[in-house]
Amino acid sequence: MILTVTLNTALDITYRVPALRPHASHRITQVTERPGGKGLNVARVLAALGHQVTVTGFTGGATGRIVQDQLAAVPGMVDALIPVSAATRRTIAVVDEGTGDTTQLNEPGPTIAPAEWSAFQEAYEDLLPSMAAVALCGSLPPGVPVGAYAGLVRLAKAAGVPVLLDTSGEPLRRGVAARPDLIKPNTEELAELTGSHEPLRATQDARRRGARSVVASLGTEGLLATTPEGRWRATPPARLHGNPTGAGDSVVAGLLSGLVDQLPWPDRLCRAVALSAATVLAPVAGEFDRAAYEELAGRVAVTGEVSAA
């Protein structure tokens, strides 16, 4: 079983329009809703790959009930979300069908009360012993301490559970100091953490700051991994056009899937890049195109070197 943590869950709503124009009215051609937030996106991809996944975090209000109702319909997924009094947020993705570009609108998260945060920590600690790996994903809602992820990393490590951290800003800086097994920043997040805009140097510095392994997302150029076992670069076969929402979360799912399947690093990176690319090509935010994934998996280029023993 894999555990994903989404402290700032959401209901992701995707609108498709023939063309998006500022200062104009638009006729929407299609509307879809999916449970969202980075950890829930990761969990959905993991479940689609055949893994058993438990999801936890916060849920509240009418929006939260919609999220939980839809999660209940996903095979292989266990709902361990903690109820709160404030309403779960919504995110809006507007897809321009003419260009394939997406405009994203994100509501703020609900304010979490101290008692609600305490209840979550107790539930999280109880879940850890039965987990093969845990992913801590996304932003912190108001009311959650900025050092929350650092504490959750320490609890996972104390339980002997490998932990992946995917966040940004001060929560990432504090979380790295708790020595997670893996972080997955993009280039902007990595530069903010380390002060370096050179990806290889920045990944090395992030390891010195506490992360055991670092996989940097380079956008359309793929992934760069710096680990105790070696360094690798994985690139997709071509530049893709589509909806990038959830592509980074698919990278996390691929890395976690590869970890629990005990794949070598090059194979983990290949899976992660193929899933990310297949997510860009999918018509709905947070989903991946399975046929595209299976076709792309054999075409991802992975280069690098193994560290000397």
Residue 245 has pLDDT above 90, yes or no: no
Q: What integer pLDDT is reported at residue 285 of this predicted model?
A: 55
Element at 244 (helix H, strand E): none
pLDDT tens-digit readout, 252-265: 999 999 999 999 99
CA dist 223 and 235 (Å) reads: 6
At 31 the three-state DSSP class reads strand
CA dist 23 and 147 (Å) reads: 41
Element at 178 (helix H, strand E): none
pLDDT tens-digit readout, 31-61: 989 899 999 999 999 999 999 999 999 999 9
**Catalytic position from the list 12, 181, 205, 249:** 249
249 in active site: yes
Q: What integer pLDDT is reported at residue 99 of this predicted model?
A: 87
Query: What pTM did the predictor assign?
Result: 0.91
- What is the rounded end-to-end Cα distance, in angstroms, of the chain? 32
Helices (H) and strands (E) in the chain, counts: 10, 15
Residue 237 has pLDDT above 90, yes or no: no
Strands (E), the chain: 2-6, 10-17, 30-36, 53-59, 77-79, 82-83, 89-96, 102-106, 133-137, 163-166, 182-183, 213-217, 223-227, 230-235, 301-306
